[in-house]
């Protein structure tokens, strides 16, 4: 988990989350994850298409590239919007979060735990540098 978090947080500026939209793939940029209680978390707004797609099928693929190495995470995004402590951790991590409407009283503030998957970091030649299981 630590290598995955470090790569996404400290080596890349943007990671890309792929979902299924009906029977077609859909991909969009996401910001940094948050590490809280040994789990990776991400956030979005319930009104976004990504939230609607994850609600229908929470199996996703996350990919990022740092200019030399890249990561692929095949996992699920588990809705933990009722986890107030995770929400507090996310708000504390991003100084812009509250101004953007990510507040504890906002019912559209969705928190996902990135879980039940595998993370693999590769070099440019495709050699595996690290593998981790996401609980």
* 124 CA to centre of own chain: 23
Beta strand residue intervals within 22-108, DSSP E: 24-30, 34-36, 39-45, 59-65, 70-79
Three-class SS state of 28: strand
Task: Output the pLDDT for position 17.
Answer: 98
Tally of CB atoms within 10 A around 60: 23
Residue 1 has pLDDT above 90, yes or no: no
Task: Output the pLDDT for position 85.
Answer: 97
Task: Output the pLDDT for position 13.
Answer: 86
Exposure of 23 by Cβ count < 10 A (0-12 exposed, 13-18 middle, 19+ buried)? exposed
Q: What is the pLDDT of residues 75-118, one digit of tens each?
A: 999 999 999 999 999 999 999 999 999 999 999 999 999 999 99
Task: Output the pLDDT for position 31.
Answer: 86
Q: Which domains does the chain have, with CATH numbers?
A: 2-134 (2.30.110.10)
pTM of the entire predicted model: 0.94
Task: Output the pLDDT for position 78.
Answer: 98
Q: What is the pLDDT of residues 7-59, one digit of tens each?
A: 999 999 899 999 999 999 999 999 889 999 999 999 999 999 999 999 999 99
Q: In 24-124, which ranges are continuous DSSP H helix?
A: 49-56, 84-93
């Amino acid at each position: 988990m630590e290598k995955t978090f470090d790569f996404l947080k400290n080596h890349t500026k943007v990671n890309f989350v792929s979902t299924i939209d009906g029977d077609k793939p859909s991909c969009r940029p996401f910001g940094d994850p948050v590490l809280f209680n040994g789990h990776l978390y991400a956030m979005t707004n319930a009104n976004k298409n990504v939230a609607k797609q994850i609600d229908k099928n929470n199996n996703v693929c996350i990919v990022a590239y740092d200019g030399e190495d890249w990561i692929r995470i095949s996992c699920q995004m588990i809705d933990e919007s009722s986890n107030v402590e995770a929400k507090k951790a996310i708000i504390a991590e991003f100084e812009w979060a509250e101004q953007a409407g990510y507040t504890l009283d906002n019912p559209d503030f969705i928190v996902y735990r990135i879980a039940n998957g595998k993370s693999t970091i590769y070099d440019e030649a495709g050699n595996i540098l690290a593998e981790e299981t996401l609980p």
